[in-house]
Amino acid sequence: MRKILFLLLTMMMLVSCSQHRKLAYKFVDDSANASVALFLPESLIKKNLRNDSVPEEMDTLSLQEKIAFLESKTKIVDKIDDDLFLDILYLSMASTLNDYGLNVVTSINDSSDIWLIDIPCVEVSEMNVSQPYYYSFYDEDCVALVPVDVVNVAAWFAFNDNPDSTLYFTEQNLFSDYYCSFQSDEQGRLLAHFYVDSLTMSDFYRFAENLGRLYAGYCYDAALNDFIKRHSEKSPDSVNSFRYDPYERLFFKTDSDRLIPVY
């Protein structure tokens, strides 16, 4: 009896999955050559969340010199050209949306026939954190806390065809590149040596280009999963969502690599 119930449940899951995948392919076919208008904010929200401190050996410096020292630790957030970042982000999103078969337009005549992607807010925060580095040294598991710089970019999204006006959220981090090695000293103590590359503005603007590609895919996938939800006879998986690869024309599931609805 248990085997029969298990087989029935398995068959129901396969049928449901097959129906959702058919709807996914239908969405891709139906959305081909659709027009999409993309709106970005006029400026960024920027936050400096670093918690640097002045070393003890610099206590004799003047207040102005200490402030200058702390300001020198900031790598990105106080040097950003908002227009350049947003231009790179827009062009990268537009190019990737074209790869999904969509046409990005700059003017709206009848918004009912156009996808509207609105990014009302992009927030950039810089911070310094201790990143754990795990290493095996002569069969001994080691860990070192490496001080690295991090730039977090958070963005909120809204779409015109969403009936409940859900706002979506995503955030990504850009870390300093670092490497750590371990070595024994004469007393047999294990010492950690770490090497950290400073983040540069070139790193940050390349990050903006990567974010544009990621955001374009996330927006397409959000519309895809909303379509499946509205047209499916069976409730779709509430944890795992479809993602679409337009280059291989393949679907795969994810539980986290996607836009997160916030309300």
Q: What is the pLDDT of residues 176-203, one digit of tens each?
A: 998 777 777 788 777 877 888 999 999 9
Would you state the structure tokens that stand for residue 209, as one six-digit string?
Answer: 């280009």
Q: Which residue ranges of the chain lie beneath pLDDT 50?
A: 3-16
Residue 16 lies in a domain: yes
- In 16-82, where do the E strands start and end? 35-39, 45-48
Q: What confidence score (pLDDT) does residue 209 get?
A: 98
Q: What confidence score (pLDDT) does residue 14 get?
A: 39
Q: What confidence score (pLDDT) does residue 160 get?
A: 82
Residue 147 lies in a domain: no
Residue 117 lies in a domain: yes
Q: What confidence score (pLDDT) does residue 53 get?
A: 82
Residue 35 lies in a domain: yes
Query: What are the tens digits of pLDDT across the range 243-257?
Result: 999 999 999 999 889
Residue 75 lies in a domain: yes
User: Residue 234 sits in which domain range?
Assistant: 2-122+154-168+200-261
Q: What confidence score (pLDDT) does residue 161 get?
A: 59
Q: What confidence score (pLDDT) does residue 166 get?
A: 81
Give the C-alpha distances (Å, rounded to integers) separating 120 from 39, 45, 117, 167, 240: 8, 11, 10, 10, 26
Residue 24 lies in a domain: yes
User: Structural domain tally of the chain?
Assistant: 1
Residue 190 lies in a domain: no
Residue 135 lies in a domain: no
Q: Single out the residue of 232, 243, 234 nearest to residue 9, CA to CA.
A: 234
Whole-angstrom Cα distance, residue 131 to residue 149?
9
